[in-house]
Amino acid sequence: MGTRPRSGPEARSGGWRLTRRQDVGALVEDAAGSSLRRTMGVAQLTLLSVGATLGTGIFVVLGEAVPEAGPAIIVSFVLAGVTALFSALSYAELAGMIPGSGSSYSYAYATLGELVAWVCGWCLILEYGVSVAAVAVGWGQYVNELLDLTLGVTLPESLSAPPGDGGTLNIPAALIVVLAMVVLLRGAKESAVANTIMVAVKIAALVMFCAVAFTAFHAGNFQPLFPLGTAGMSAGAASLFFSYIGFDAASTAGEEAKNPQRDLPRAILLSLVLVTALYVIVAVAALGAMPWQKFEGTEATLSEVLVQSVGGGSLWPILLSVGAVVATTSVVLTVQYGQIRILFAMARDGLVPPLFAKVHPTTGVPRANTVIVSGFIAVLAALVPLGSLADATSIGTLFAFMLVNLAVVLLRRRNPDAPRSFRVPFSPVTPILGVGFCVYMLFSLGADTWIAFGAWMAVGLVIYGLYGIRHSKLNQLNQPNELNQHQELV
């Protein structure tokens, strides 16, 4: 049999089968006619991204990354931040151009075709879903630390750690996911208010940490700066990239933003600048207060740094632990929100069951989607260790970011005159550099992480082959054209 001829562009799509693409104008129309409610301004969108980013990465993962790089962890933060910046610029352009809920999944659909869009969406499910679970695990650690500092007791390890970390079930991690679900079910506006309060608390906690840690600062702790070489610095940056996951959360709120074309680019870039500045200052304060060798094998949190530097009887570690509990709560809430909106967009395109796109008429929330996703994440958080979750999240994120940078280059060529409220400077050089940084970071991750990622991708491709390719809305639109072509061939 010969190959079938390609179909021409449809009202919403072009291409054939795995390479068929969503039309940019159709994506904008979908967003404009969304059943979700537009309640967020630029401040709420910025705080959504800050809330999704600023949490476990600095409060918990810092302690795990320092032994990999030593004092060079500061350079690792900068390297990870620069990598994120290139992608943030691309996100800003595409979010202003395609203000939907699908984030990089929708951008890939418009540029690289349905198969790549599915792969990107599958990566986002890994990024958002697994990172929520990782943050929930970090939340449980800080709850235990707070109980120890205030009451001198901790939860039994069997009920506060997953298998592989000495426990049986991480109940606190599952509990915070369920509590976030309850808030999300109330509506986007209510969730944004709760997030704003929590972001203010966690920024205040980090400022307090820096103020106290700098009183015990020793410049000698930074000599030598690269005790484990540049390879250690690169490995630290790859691990710490987890700390930047979430700045793109505003791009998942495109259909709930009041003025998405104007506000989404501003929120994405502003949140990244704010978060990067805080990370670098906190890292300098932490390493100045406690030699990097003491982080080895301790999984030291910021509260532990204060205990070591200013004394265990101080009120400061307690206050910081309170701030950390609030901080990680905020991340769970906002990243869980993003995961749900991405599945909403995929369901609307027909690639996952329509149940995920069904919106409750009273709250304007995809209720079934919220409950199903939250239940899955709660189980994951209860059973999987933090380190494994963090690395798996990083690889999924870097892959998605790479595709976003490629999408900017392709859309500049295919749709040069399309309205853009923000344009990446020095394109195509800037997005190409973004791709290069993502590839560099990807190959800094370990073999185990790549194996897990490969298994995840294999499962995703099976699901797409069995369900997504047949139920795709573009497949339905192209069917009459396919029938006509078949009749012509006969």
pLDDT digits (tens, 9 = 90+) for 350-405: 999 999 999 988 888 899 999 999 999 898 888 877 666 666 677 878 888 898 99
Q: What is the pLDDT of residue 406?
A: 92
CB proximity list for 318: less than 8 A, separation 6 or greater: 146, 149, 150
Q: What is the pLDDT of residue 298?
A: 55
pLDDT, mean over the chain: 82
Phi first, then psi: give them for residue 170, nearest 5 degrees. -95, 85
Q: Domain map of the chain by residue range?
A: 29-474
pLDDT digits (tens, 9 = 90+) for 156-168: 888 887 777 777 8
Compute the radius of gyration of the chain from its Cα atoms: 23
Residue from 36, 201, 27 nearest 105 by CA: 27
| Rounded-to-integer distance, Cα 48 and Cα 249, Å | 7
Residue 286 has pLDDT above 70, yes or no: yes
Q: Categorize the per-residue pLDDT at 4 as very low, low, confident or very high, splitting at 50, 70 and 90.
A: very low
pLDDT digits (tens, 9 = 90+) for 210-248: 998 898 899 999 989 999 888 888 888 877 877 787 777
Does the domain made of 29-474 have the CATH classification 1.20.1740.10? yes
CB atoms closer than 10 angstroms to residue 324: 29
Helices (H), 152-213: 157-160, 171-184, 188-213
Q: Taking the CA of residue 294 as centre, how many other CA atoms within 13 Å lie in the half-sphere pointing to its CB?
A: 16
CB atoms closer than 10 angstroms to residue 462: 10
Q: What is the pLDDT of residue 11?
A: 39
Residue 337 has pLDDT above 80, yes or no: yes
Q: How many residues does the chain have?
A: 490
Q: What is the pLDDT of residue 177?
A: 92
pLDDT digits (tens, 9 = 90+) for 33-70: 766 778 888 888 898 888 888 876 677 667 778 888 88
Phi first, then psi: give them for residue 261, nearest 5 degrees. -60, -35
pLDDT digits (tens, 9 = 90+) for 404-434: 999 999 989 988 888 888 899 998 999 999 9
Q: Which range is least confidently modeled, 138-152, 330-344, 368-382? A: 138-152
Q: Which range is least confidently modeled, 194-198, 305-309, 353-357? A: 305-309
User: What sign results for the dihedral spanned by CA atoms 8, 12, 14, 16?
Assistant: negative
Q: What is the pLDDT of residue 460?
A: 92
CB proximity list for 232: less than 8 A, separation 6 or greater: 68, 69, 70, 72, 226
| Rounded-to-integer distance, Cα 198 and Cα 429, Å | 38
Q: Which range is least confidently modeled, 78-92, 233-247, 303-317? A: 303-317
Residue 195 has pLDDT above 60, yes or no: yes
Q: What is the pLDDT of residue 312?
A: 61
Q: What is the pLDDT of residue 388?
A: 61
| Rounded-to-integer distance, Cα 293 and Cα 70, Å | 7
Work out the percent of the chain whose per-residue pLDDT is above 70: 89
